[in-house]
Structures are given as structure tokens and as C-alpha cells.
Amino acid sequence: MISNLIADFRIIFDRDPAARNWLEVLFCYPGLQALSLHRFAHLLYTLDIPFVPRFISYLSRFFTGIEIHPGATIGKGVFIDHGMGVVIGETTIIGDYALIYQGVTLGGTGKETGKRHPTLGENVVVGAGAKVLGNLLIGSNVRIGAGSVVLRDVPSDSTVVGIPGRILYRAGEKMGPLEHGNLPDTEAEVIQALLDRIESLEKQVQKIQVEQTCNAIAQGIETPSAEGIELPPSCQLEDRVIRQFLDGSGI
């Protein structure tokens, strides 16, 4: 337990540029305090001591805003950054050197007994507000984007974003645990693909209209030219909304 506490203390200086000295980290980092209290409570929990582990967990939540069930198993070098609102369930297993941000929930999905909370591998990053629910297996080196809701297993070396969480592979690409601005926007990518498909279909329709016009002229039938046809205002508005979304301006 002592070696784990030392690893928890040292990892803060590696992952938080705001950590300036050991006194500040020791007394002003609720994540470190919550983990320290949890490791003691977990030891008592494994010895089947009643009430006391849960009471320590309750006091830890009161003072730090982080709720960790004493039954949860947490590896070494884990860093809970800020930590307010973090909830870690009873049968959760967290691997070494995980990075967990505020508002994260590692919880269950019902009243089933046994293993009902997620298992996280090593070097997992869980972004702010993310939810990982159920007896899921999250592989090593996984990055879960902020606000994502993960409802299925995630293989190692991949990124999860969205609601529900969508898995994106990052084979051969090394990314630092703090590079949260490098997460992909899957919804925008899908909308862009649909927009390209619509544009292709519009060109095909316009080509057909031009061919029909040429055939009508050849037969001596008067018909308006297909060239210079403008989209109705409603379609123009939809295009503007889509472009704003793709540019990150919102709707």
C-alpha cells in the first residue's frame, strides 16, 4: 500500500503542470487525499471489517467530493484530477497509471450482483463527465473523450467518443494523456460524408435535367434551361446550418 501511495504522489508532478511543490500537492489535491483514504478503507474491506470502511468512504466523499466504494480495486500511479463528482463503484478495477477527470462515473446499470462495474486497463484516460456503465472491459491505452457514455467493451489502443460511445482505432499513433484537443468529431465526419453524398446526387440530378432539356430542344419542345437553377431558400438555410456545425459554430 505504501508503494502505491508513493506512486500516486509522484505521478501528479508528471501530469499536472500546476503542481509546484510537495506541500501543496499533499494538502491541496483532493484526488490524492481520496485515494489515500480509499487504500486504507480497501485494506479494512478485504479484512471483512464491517461499517468502518464505508464510513471512511463517506468521510472521504464529504471532504473531497470523490466517492470511491471501499471494495473498488485501484492500481498504482492513478491520478484523479480535480475530482469533484467522481463516482467509482464497488466492483470497479482500475489499472496502473490511469488518469480520471472530474465528473466521471464508473458505475453499474442495475441491481445485479457480482461483478457489475467496469474494469480499466493500464494508462487509461477518462475525460471529464464521461460515464462507463456496466461490467465492461476497457483495454490498456484507451482514451475516453469528455462527456462520452460507454456501454460496451473497448479494445486496447483506441479512442471512444460520443453518446453512446463510438470506438475509433489509433493504430501506430502515440498520443499524450493530456492531448484532449486531439479527439476526433465523429458526428461532424458523418455529416460531412452525407453532405458530400448529397452534393454528388445533386450533380447527377442536374446532369439528367440538362440531358432532358437537350432532348426536348432537339424535338422542338420549349422548356426552361436547367442551367443556373438555384436551390430554394429552405435548402440554402439547411446548407448554412450544416456549414456552421462543421465549422464548430453550433446550431
Q: pTM value?
A: 0.71
pLDDT band at 250 (very low <50, low <70, confident <90, very high): very low
CATH 2.160.10.10 domain span(s) along the chain: 2-182
Q: Average pLDDT for residues 172-187, to the nearest whole number?
A: 57
Homologous superfamily (CATH) of 2-182 is Hexapeptide repeat proteins (2.160.10.10)
- Read off the pLDDT of each residue in 20-27 and give the average, rounded to a whole number: 88
Q: What is the pLDDT of residues 31-69, one digit of tens each?
A: 999 999 999 999 999 999 999 999 999 999 999 999 999
Band of pLDDT at residue 176, cut at 50, 70 and 90: low
Task: Please state, in angstroms and as integers, the Cα–Cα distance from residue 167 to each residue in 134, 176, 205, 247, following that order.
Answer: 17, 18, 36, 23
- Please choose, from the candidates 46, 60, 148, the residue with its C-alpha nearest in 3D space to the C-alpha of residue 124: 148
Query: Which tens digit of pLDDT belongs to each residue from 118-163?
Result: 999 999 999 999 999 999 999 999 999 888 999 999 999 888 888 8
160-171: pLDDT as tens digits: 888 888 887 655
Long-range contacts of 242-249 (CB under 8 A, 24+ apart): 242/191, 242/195, 245/188, 245/191, 246/188, 246/191, 246/192, 246/195
